[in-house]
């Protein structure tokens, strides 16, 4: 296992900037994962609102289990490894790989709302990057870019390493999910911070595990979330768009 | 980049020359136990009737003579008269080392409906933990309709294996199908508490991935009981439909016609309609799927659904 990770790291390092000692890159990552980034992430709950409605999540403990599960069976096996591949593709100017992983990820989106979320956030982030003159001419941006490929580009442009981009992405997900829970459950602010403390190490572990996965191992395994998200399409009272 | 075959699909352990102790039948009972069976069917429009123009089989996987229960002229029919075919696997179930490959192709204008006369049983793995595999590959050419409606798969405690469904749709080809999976034998109080089964789906249209899904079923994993995963459910079903001209309207029709429940939900994305059931009732899962198919049939073809008689026996 250690050998695999080392090999993969080495492969990444050859083309990656090392952001650990680059304060400018760190500030760029903070910019990217800040809730103030104007892409409208706050409007989406990724099925969590439906899980609350169904009574599957109703307190701090059950929310912690839900988040740990989604991190393990969702982000670790899907978003994070695809983010790593997209980050590499931007670095290497590989438009074909970018288009492939963008398409592959969207084919894995279980429901209409989850796909919409991917496409809306991606489209908005790409527009923002264009306004900042941060979209390169080559490689070509994939058709209907999702959030993952856009996030990978934004990180790349800021000199954020692949590993840090993955951790930042996972962090933004966790913080957004907790914000959803604080609004909709509602969950207390201290409970939310307790969950952050509990899940911070899990985020780091998820990034390490995601880096070791081969292409054939990828794909989320979230049947309950998929059902909840499809039920959300007809949920009577809703605060969020997914 | 469009290679969507599944890992291990091409592997055929134990087939090396002189390695089969039982005189070439492929039977052996060690870690390289392997018994392959394959079936390859092709359907074509011949003068307004869908004919099975190819039927090749190897090993214990057969078809009965095709039949035509949906007779009668339909004005403006998009497809030839449908051909119904029952797939038979005389052993009745899969054990360690079994490797089933089903390859079905519908040519332009053809309309084929495939089902099975009984549930497929997946038995407990042998003491070596050797896996079984069932790989279905459906090819739908432009202007064809393929309906893949097998009866459910019953997965007994200790079963280990992989069930994959690869859908290769071209142009305006249409495909509707399902996989219904029930874990354990609740009637005999023999729940699925060990083993590992994985179900995979990969649907491409003109080589582009539209839908991919994997469902690893491992009772030792936290997702088996966690709500984000199986939530402890023992029955699951996945129904797909691709090639609908108005998928969102079809989604609304299903919501209108089927009794609402928190155990099933329908959505559509990337032109693929997906209905999923998660619960504990085999009959409920089957009914949701069958009713959904009946509602969807007029959206796919100008013929009403004609329920295969074998389902009623």
Has the ipTM of the complex gone over 0.95?
Answer: no
Q: What is the pLDDT of residues B237-290, one digit of tens each?
A: 999 999 999 999 999 999 999 999 999 999 999 999 999 999 999 999 999 999
Contact criterion met (CB < 8 Å) for A110 and B274: yes
Rounded Cα distance, B51 and B45, in Å: 6
| Closest CB from A96, A103, A227 relative to B208 | A103
pLDDT of residue B28: 67
Residue B9: is its pLDDT beyond 50?
Answer: no
* Average pLDDT score, chain B: 89
pLDDT digits (tens, 9 = 90+) for B291-303: 999 999 999 998 9
The answer to whether residues A207 and A9 touch, using CB atoms and an 8 Å cutoff, is no
Nearest CA in chain B to A223: B229
Q: CA angle, corner A22, sides to A17 and A26, nearest 5?
A: 100
Domains of chain A: 44-233 (1.10.4190.10)
Average pLDDT over residues B129-144: 95
Using 50, 70 and 90 to split pLDDT, how confident is the model at B18?
A: very low
Model-wide pTM > 0.80: yes
Rounded Cα distance between A81 and A144, Å, is 20
pLDDT band at B30 (very low <50, low <70, confident <90, very high): confident
Query: pLDDT value at position A3?
Result: 42
DSSP assignments along B73-86, one per residue: --TT-SSPBPEEEE
| Tens digit of each residue's pLDDT (9 = 90 or more) over B48-85 | 999 999 999 999 899 988 999 998 878 778 999 999 99
Give the CA distances from residue A75 to residues A69, A72, A79, A162, B111, in Å, rounded to whole numbers and listed in that order. Answer: 9, 6, 5, 15, 40
The tens place of each residue's pLDDT in chain A, 242 residues long, gives 444 444 444 444 445 555 457 999 999 999 999 999 999 999 999 999 999 999 999 999 999 999 999 999 999 999 999 999 999 999 999 999 999 999 999 999 999 999 999 999 999 999 999 999 999 999 999 999 999 999 999 999 999 999 999 999 999 999 999 999 999 999 999 999 999 999 999 999 999 999 999 999 999 999 999 999 999 999 988 999 99
Cβ of A227 within 8 Å of Cβ of B276? The answer is yes
Torsions phi, psi of B3, nearest 5?
-75, 110
Provide the pLDDT for residue B22: 41
Provide CB contacts within 8 A for A140, sequence distance 6+: A95, A98, A99
* Boundaries of every domain in chain B: 39-312
Chain A contact probe: residue of B169, B202, B214, B227 with most A CBs at under 10 A: B227
Which 3-state string (H, E, C) describes B91-158?
CCEECCCEEEEEEEEECCCCEEEEECCCCEEECCCCCCCCCEEEEEEEEECCCCEEEECCCCEEECCC
A66/chain B closest Cα distance in angstroms: 6
* Mean pLDDT on B172-193: 93
* Chain A hits for B215, Cβ within 8 Å: 221, 223
Q: What mean pLDDT do residues B222-243 have? A: 97
Cα of B270 to nearest chain A Cα, Å: 8
Distance set, CA A78 to CA A207, A227, B8 (Å):
11, 18, 21
- Cβ atoms of B150 and B212 within 8 Å: the answer is no
- Please state the φ and ψ torsions of residue B159, each to the nearest 5 degrees: -70, 145
B13 or B104, greater pLDDT: B104
Per-residue pLDDT, A7: 44
- Alpha-carbon distance of B44 to B18, in angstroms, equals 40
pLDDT of residue B27: 60
Mean pLDDT, residues B153-162: 94
Q: Can you give the pLDDT at residue B3? A: 39
Residue of B nearest to A144 (CA): B270
Name which of A191-200, A202-211, B7-16, B152-161 the model is least confident about: B7-16
DSSP 8-state secondary structure symbol assigned to residue B28: -
Determine whether the interchain pair B274/A111 forms a contact, defined as Cβ–Cβ distance below 8 Å.
yes
Q: Is the Cβ pair B227, A219 closer than 8 Å? A: no
- The SS3 of residue B1 is coil
Copy the structure tokens of residue A75: 């982000």
pLDDT for residue B95: 86
* C-alpha A67, offset from chain centre: 13
Pick from A57, A224, A233: CB nearest B229 = A224
- Backbone angles phi and psi of B166, in degrees to 5: -115, 125
pLDDT by residue (tens digit) across B193-222?
999 999 999 999 999 999 999 999 999 999
């Amino acid at each position: 296992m250690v050998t695999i990770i080392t090999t993969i790291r080495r492969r990444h390092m050859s083309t990656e900037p090392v952001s650990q000692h680059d304060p400018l890159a760190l500030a760029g990552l903070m910019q990217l994962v800040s809730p103030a980034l104007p892409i409208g992430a706050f409007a989406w709950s990724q099925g969590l609102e439906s899980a609350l409605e169904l009574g599957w999540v109703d307190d701090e403990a059950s929310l912690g289990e839900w988040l740990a599960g989604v991190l393990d069976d969702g982000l670790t096996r899907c978003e994070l490894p695809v983010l790593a591949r997209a980050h590499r593709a931007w670095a290497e100017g590989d438009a074909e790989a970018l288009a492939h992983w963008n398409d592959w990820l969207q084919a894995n989106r279980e429901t209409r709302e989850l796909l919409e979320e991917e496409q809306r956030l991606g489209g908005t982030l790409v527009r923002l990057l264009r306004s900042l003159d941060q979209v390169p001419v080559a490689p070509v941006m994939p058709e209907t870019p999702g959030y993952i490929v856009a996030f990978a580009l934004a990180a790349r442009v800021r000199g954020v390493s692949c590993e840090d981009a993955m951790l930042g992405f996972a962090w933004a997900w966790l913080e957004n999910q907790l914000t959803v829970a604080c609004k909709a459950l509602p969950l207390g602010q201290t409970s939310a911070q307790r969950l952050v403390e509990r899940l911070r190490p899990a985020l780091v572990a998820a990034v390490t595990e995601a880096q070791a996965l081969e292409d054939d191992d990828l794909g989320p395994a979230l049947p309950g979330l998929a059902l909840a998200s499809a039920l959300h399409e007809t949920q009577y009272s809703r605060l969020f768009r997914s | 980049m469009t290679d969507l075959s599944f890992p291990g699909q091409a592997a055929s352990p134990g087939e090396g020359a002189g390695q089969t102790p039982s005189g070439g039948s492929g039977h052996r009972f060690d870690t390289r136990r392997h018994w392959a069976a394959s079936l390859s069917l092709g359907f074509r429009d011949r003068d307004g009737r869908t004919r099975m123009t190819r039927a090749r089989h190897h090993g214990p996987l057969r078809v009965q003579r095709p039949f035509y229960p949906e007779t009668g002229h339909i004005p403006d029919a998009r497809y030839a008269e449908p051909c119904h075919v029952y797939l038979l696997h005389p052993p009745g179930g899969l054990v360690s080392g079994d490797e089933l490959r089903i390859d079905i192709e519908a040519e332009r204008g053809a309309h084929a409906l495939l089902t099975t006369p009984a549930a497929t049983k997946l038995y407990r793995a042998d003491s070596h933990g050797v896996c079984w595999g069932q790989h279905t590959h459906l090819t739908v050419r432009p202007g064809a309709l393929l309906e893949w409606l097998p009866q459910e798969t019953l997965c007994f405690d200790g079963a280990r294996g992989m069930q994959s469904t690869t859908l290769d749709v071209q142009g305006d080809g249409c495909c509707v199908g399902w996989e219904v999976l029930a874990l354990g034998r609740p009637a005999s109080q023999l729940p699925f508490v060990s083993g590992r089964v994985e179900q995979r789906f990969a649907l491409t249209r003109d080589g582009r991935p539209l839908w991919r899904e994997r469902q690893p079923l491992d009772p030792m994993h936290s997702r088996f009981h966690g709500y984000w995963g199986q939530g402890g459910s023992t029955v699951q079903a996945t129904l797909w439909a691709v090639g609908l001209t108005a998928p969102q309207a079809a989604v609304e029709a299903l919501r209108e016609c089927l009794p609402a429940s928190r155990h099933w939900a329908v959505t559509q994305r990337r032109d693929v309609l997906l209905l999923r059931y998660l619960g504990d009732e085999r009959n409920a899962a089957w009914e949701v799927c069958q009713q959904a198919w009946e509602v969807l049939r007029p959206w796919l073809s100008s013929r009403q659904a004609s329920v295969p008689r074998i389902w009623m026996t």
